């Protein structure tokens, strides 16, 4: 059997479609027909050569959802359900070693030094070749964590669970947010939209979204933001006054930086209340620094500032459950669809932030 896949051969050059032989499965492996693959912001960075983990040539794509075409041996999903050919599945995008200090003692597998991600650390010049989601078929190694999807819905809706949804889940997991808290979300791309949705689904009393583009802010409102402030008509000072008025002059209980901009992080820190927390998950690659006043920003404020790096299976589970609870809403998150042939256009749309979420549909 053969499979077409979108290959990154040279940075900043058009992606190319290549044909691969589907390898013979080993014990525990699963071959998946990719129904939809997500275009992530980091794919753009990889295409531009800004991610040192990239090993050329490679098949891009770490977000995906599909159907089982073949499987070797008995397989169960993470919930204990037996899997068979034809089942629809989502999978955790990364593989971890399960035997290091992070995996076993600290229960932080997302920091495992042996962690690798489909479509990020892989190259298509080595077996099993088909290791990126921008392809007709994907080979899942034995250690991959699987989630069977029981609903009859459009599978593409689940694509963002595996990256931005899971990362937002991780941010909430470490945020210390309590029921009834006021929440600020800085940035309203997919990561920010998920943060808004999680805040609403965990009982935030008010959810203030700050963003730059009108369409995305509208989406934030649709997902549950109680107040949406645009960076353009409103100055930093006006936004600050508005937030303080909404929070009895204290600032929000928890602020989420989901924009990947130093100014956004500064604003989050300044708008978090004393004793509150500020979670930053937006920086997937090096992009500037913030200057913090030790006394005012940290000590006197008793602030908790928490950085977030990627996610693990727990978080993919959380994101999947969130999507399942609001299927109609999340279907609207996917604003653009492309065939494999249009992969270069898909990258362009994501780069220009024309889309909220764009997906490739390898089988049309």
Among 12, 19, 74, 99, which residue interacts with a copy of itself (rule: CB under 8 A)?
99
> Please, what is the end-to-end C-alpha distance for the chain in angstroms?
19
Binder of a copy of itself out of 52, 74, 105, 352 (CB under 8 A): 105
Q: Is 126 left (phi over 0), alpha (psi -120 to 50) or beta?
A: beta
Q: List the beta bridge partners of residue 82.
A: 76
151 binds a copy of itself (CB under 8 A): no
Residue with the two structure tokens 């998946």: 32
Min dist CB 68 to a copy of itself, Å, is 16
Provide CB contacts within 8 A for 281, sequence distance 6+. Answer: 167, 168, 170, 171, 191, 256, 257, 258, 307, 308
Give the position of tokens 């009834």. 180
Which is nearer to a copy of itself, 31 or 169 (by Cβ)?
169
Interface mask (CB under 8 A) for a copy of itself, residues 266-295, using x and -? --------xx----xxxxxxxxxxxxxxxx
If one asks whether residue 180 binds a copy of itself (CB under 8 A), the answer comes out as yes
* Residue count, binding to a copy of itself (CB under 8 A): 80
- Residues within window 193-252 making contact with a copy of itself, judged by CB under 8 A: 198, 201-203, 205, 248-250
Q: How far is the CB of 240 from a copy of itself (least distance, A)?
A: 18
Nearer to a copy of itself, 165 or 362 (CB): 165
Smallest distance, a copy of itself to C-beta of residue 260, A: 8
Q: What is the nearest approach in angstroms of a copy of itself to the Cβ of residue 364?
A: 32
For residue 182, the SS3 value is: strand
Site string for a copy of itself, 312-341 (x = CB under 8 A): xxx--xx-xxx-xx----------------
Pairing relationship of beta strands 94-95 and 88-91 according to DSSP bridges? unpaired
Binder of a copy of itself out of 33, 93, 231, 301 (CB under 8 A): 301
Contact 71, 83 (CB under 8 A): yes
Q: In Å, what is the CA distance from 241 to each residue of 129, 170, 258, 278, 294? A: 54, 30, 21, 18, 23
Out of 302, 331, 345, 354, the residue judged to bind a copy of itself by CB under 8 A: 302
What is the rounded distance in angstroms from the CA atom of residue 119 to the CA atom of residue 116? 9
């Amino acid at each position: 059997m053969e499979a077409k896949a979108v290959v990154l051969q040279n940075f900043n050059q058009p992606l190319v479609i290549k044909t691969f032989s589907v390898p013979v499965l080993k014990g525990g492996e699963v071959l998946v027909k990719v129904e939809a693959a997500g275009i992530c912001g980091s794919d753009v960075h990889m295409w531009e050569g800004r991610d040192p983990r990239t090993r050329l040539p490679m098949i891009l794509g770490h977000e995906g959802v599909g159907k089982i075409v073949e499987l070797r041996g008995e397989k169960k999903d993470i919930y204990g359900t037996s899997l068979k050919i034809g089942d629809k599945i989502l999978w955790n995008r990364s593989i971890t070693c399960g035997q290091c200090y992070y995996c076993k003692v600290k229960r932080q597998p997302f920091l495992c030094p042996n962690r690798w991600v489909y479509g990020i650390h892989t190259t298509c010049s080595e077996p099993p070749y088909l290791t990126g989601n921008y392809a007709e078929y994907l080979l899942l190694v034995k250690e991959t964590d699987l989630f069977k999807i029981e609903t009859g819905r459009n599978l593409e809706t689940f694509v963002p669970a595996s990256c931005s949804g899971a990362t937002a889940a991780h941010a909430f997991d470490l945020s210390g947010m309590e029921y009834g808290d006021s929440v600020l979300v800085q940035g309203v791309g997919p990561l920010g939209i998920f943060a808004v949705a999680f805040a609403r689904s965990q009982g935030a009393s008010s959810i203030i979204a700050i963003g730059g583009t009108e369409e995305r802010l509208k989406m934030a409102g649709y997902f549950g933001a109680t107040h949406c402030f645009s960076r353009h008509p409103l100055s930093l000072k006006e936004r600050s006054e508005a937030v303080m008025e909404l929070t009895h002059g204290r600032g929000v209980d928890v602020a989420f930086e989901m924009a990947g901009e130093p100014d956004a992080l500064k604003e989050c820190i300044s708008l978090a209340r004393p004793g509150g927390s500020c979670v930053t998950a937006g920086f997937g690659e090096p992009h500037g620094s913030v200057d913090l006043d030790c006394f005012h920003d940290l000590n006197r404020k008793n602030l908790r500032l928490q950085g977030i790096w990627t996610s693990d299976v727990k978080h993919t589970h959380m994101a999947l459950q969130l999507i399942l609870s609001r299927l109609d809403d999340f279907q609207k998150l996917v604003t653009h669809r492309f065939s494999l042939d249009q992969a270069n256009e898909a990258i362009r749309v994501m780069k220009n932030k024309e889309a909220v979420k764009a997906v490739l549909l390898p089988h049309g």
